[in-house]
């Protein structure tokens, strides 16, 4: 099974990553990975740290002359904001909404919650983004495309679009909010600027779309092998994500079955669905339609205008500290979410079609698609 591990702190020397069971012969240009890292650092409403860091991945194992070898892939991203542990003053006031208090209790850091802050920081998602970028390169070789984009920040929603993924990507790339509707940007900017001036923060919603996903990824065998369960786990692991929706998810819960379930039909020589309320997943498996997932993020917990907290050393009520932070991370989260969906889909692809050699995987996928075409002949 394709797996990954990360290590490293927000202000430590570097972030480390290992990606195991990745197939051989996949082209892995570092520039492509770095492009996704640059995207993660962008987006309107980020903090000044994004001007300090210039993330670049260093591939230290598992690649030979630009292609994966089949061995574990080792990655490193240096932190420019490297702070010595000896020079950081102890922090003893946890921030509401952050991992500070629960982590201090769990690991016994009540006298200095810095170790909790360092590892719980969303800085770690830079490595997950690099890992997801590598998975996206595999999907590209199989003609599967994944894109995350912003659908809402605070109360300002971005209208849905019927654009192709190529057209949507072009718009998202040009947008400072990573959204597909330029007309929504002035209202989004005004909201972020007003929130910044008020010393507050914003959450929002991200949509992740994957096209050309073959049917049958995932499994009905065990709960943890369901594709939607795997997606939910990977996406809920992103800091600030508090809910995951597949397809029409939440809205479907208000409707009758006849209005929700996607009728099956034949178009030309293919079996298809008339609608896609399921978001491309039925019974824990992909069904060949567009994969559509939404994530919902809470506002960043570090606020310029602090909330009430306690001093763990003194046992007294006080205000939570302000640590440099973003006003909104929803655009950046869209890139991390895109990376995590790419990882889940790559893992599911390798489970179904093998994982040793790219050419073998491509051939197995072609054979499978040919079998599906046979069953989809017009009646």
pLDDT of residue 303: 81
pTM above 0.85, yes or no: yes
133 and 36 Cβ atoms separated by less than 8 Å? yes
Residues 148-190 have pLDDT tens digits of 999 999 999 999 878 899 999 999 999 999 999 999 999 999 9
Q: Is the pLDDT of residue 107 over 90?
A: yes
What pLDDT is attached to residue 236?
98
Answer whether 208's CB lies under 8 Å from 296's CB: no
SS (H, E, C) 9-64: CCCCCEEEEEEECCCECCECCHHHHHHHHHHHHCCCCCCCHHHHCCCCEEEEECEE
pLDDT at 100: 94
> To which H or E segment does residue 104 belong?
helix 100-107
Compute the average pLDDT of residues 105-117.
95
Structure confidence by residue, pLDDT tens digits, 278-318: 999 999 999 999 999 999 999 988 788 889 999 999 999 99
CA distance 60 to 73: 7
The chain-wide mean pLDDT, for the chain, equals: 93
CATH architecture of the region 3-375: 4-Layer Sandwich (3.60)
pLDDT interval class at 378 (50, 70, 90): low
Q: Which residues of 156-165 are buried (b: 16+ CB within 10 A; e: fewer)?
A: bbbeeeeeeb
Q: Could you read off the pLDDT of 239-266 as tens digits, one per residue?
A: 999 999 999 999 999 999 999 999 999 8
Does residue 50 register a pLDDT over 60? no
User: Cβ distance 210 to 337 under 8 Å?
Assistant: no
């Amino acid at each position: 099974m394709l797996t990954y591990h990360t290590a490293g702190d927000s202000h430590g020397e570097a972030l480390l990553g290992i990606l195991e069971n990745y197939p051989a012969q996949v082209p892995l240009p570092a520039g492509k990975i770095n492009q996704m890292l640059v995207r993660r650092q962008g987006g309107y409403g980020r903090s000044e740290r994004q001007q300090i860091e210039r993330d670049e991945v260093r591939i230290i194992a598992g690649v030979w002359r630009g292609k994966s070898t089949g061995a574990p892939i080792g990655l490193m991203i240096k932190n420019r904001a490297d702070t010595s542990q000896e020079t950081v003053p102890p922090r003893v006031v946890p921030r509401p909404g952050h991992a500070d208090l629960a982590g201090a209790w769990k690991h016994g850091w009540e006298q200095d919650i810095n170790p909790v802050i360092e590892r719980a920081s969303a800085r770690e998602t830079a490595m997950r983004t690099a890992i997801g970028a590598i998975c996206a390169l595999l999907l590209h070789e199989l003609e599967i495309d994944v894109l995350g984009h912003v659908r809402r920040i605070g109360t300002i929603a971005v209208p849905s679009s019927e654009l192709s993924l190529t057209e949507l990507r072009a718009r998202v790339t040009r947008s400072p909010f990573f959204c597909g509707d330029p007309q929504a940007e002035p209202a989004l900017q005004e909201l972020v600027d007003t929130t910044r001036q008020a010393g507050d923060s914003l959450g929002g919603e991200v949509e992740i779309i994957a096209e050309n996903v073959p049917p049958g990824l995932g499994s009905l065998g065990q709960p943890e092998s369901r594709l939607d369960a795997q997606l939910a786990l990977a996406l809920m692991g992103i800091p600030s994500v508090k809910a995951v929706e597949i397809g029409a998810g939440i809205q479907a819960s208000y409707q009758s079955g006849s209005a929700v379930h996607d009728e099956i039909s034949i178009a030309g020589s293919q079996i298809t669905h008339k609608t896609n309320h399921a978001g491309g997943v039925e019974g824990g498996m992909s069904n060949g339609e567009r994969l559509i997932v939404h994530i919902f993020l809470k506002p960043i917990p570090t606020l310029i205008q602090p909330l009430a907290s306690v001093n763990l050393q003194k046992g007294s009520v006080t205000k939570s500290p302000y640590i440099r932070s973003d006003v909104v991370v929803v655009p950046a989260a869209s890139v991390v979410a895109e990376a995590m969906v790419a990882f889940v889909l790559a893992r599911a692809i390798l489970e179904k079609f093998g994982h040793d050699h790219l050419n073998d995987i491509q051939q197995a996928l072609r054979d499978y698609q040919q079998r599906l075409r046979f069953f989809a002949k017009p009646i």
